[in-house]
Amino acid sequence: MKYAIAATALVMSAATVFAQTPAPTTTTPATKPAATAQATGTCKAQAAAKKLAGAALTSFMKKCERDATTACNKSAADKKLTGAAKTSHTKKCLSDAVGS
C-alpha cells in the first residue's frame, strides 16, 4: 500500500512539472511587416514554388494577401502612421509581400 501511494505521489509531481512548462512562442519582429511572406519569399513566389494553379492558386493568393494586409496594417499602427503616410506604407508593404 505504501508503494502505491508513493508511486501515485511521484506520478502526480511529475505531471505538475510538465504542466508548468511554458509552450515555446514565436514572435515576429515589428520591423518586418508580413513576416511570413517575407521569410519565405513573396506570395507569388510561394505559389510558384508550390506549383499552384486554378482555384488553389486563387484561394492561396487571397489568404496570403489578407494575411499581408493584416500584418501591414499592424505595422502602420505600431509606427503610429496616419493619412498619406499610412497609405504609402501599406501600399509599399503589400507590394513587397505579395510580389509583382
Between 55 and 21, residue with greater pLDDT: 55
Which among 28, 54, 30, 47 is positioned nearest to 39, based on CA atoms? Answer: 28
Lowest mean pLDDT among 5-9, 42-46, 57-61: 5-9
pLDDT, residue 99, reads 85
Question: Which DSSP symbol is given to 80?
Answer: T
Amino acid in position 1: M
More confident residue, 62 or 15: 62
- For residues 13-37, average pLDDT: 50
Residue 44: half-sphere exposure toward Cβ, Cα within 13 Å: 7
Half-sphere exposure in the Cβ direction for 58 (13 Å, CA)? 2
d(CA 37, CA 49): 13
pTM, 2 dp:
0.58
Contacts of 50 (CB under 8 A, 6+ apart): 60
pLDDT tier at 22, thresholds 50, 70, 90? low
d(Cα 25, Cα 53) in Å, to the nearest integer?
34
Q: What is the mean pLDDT of the chain?
A: 77
Q: 40 pLDDT exceeds 70?
A: no
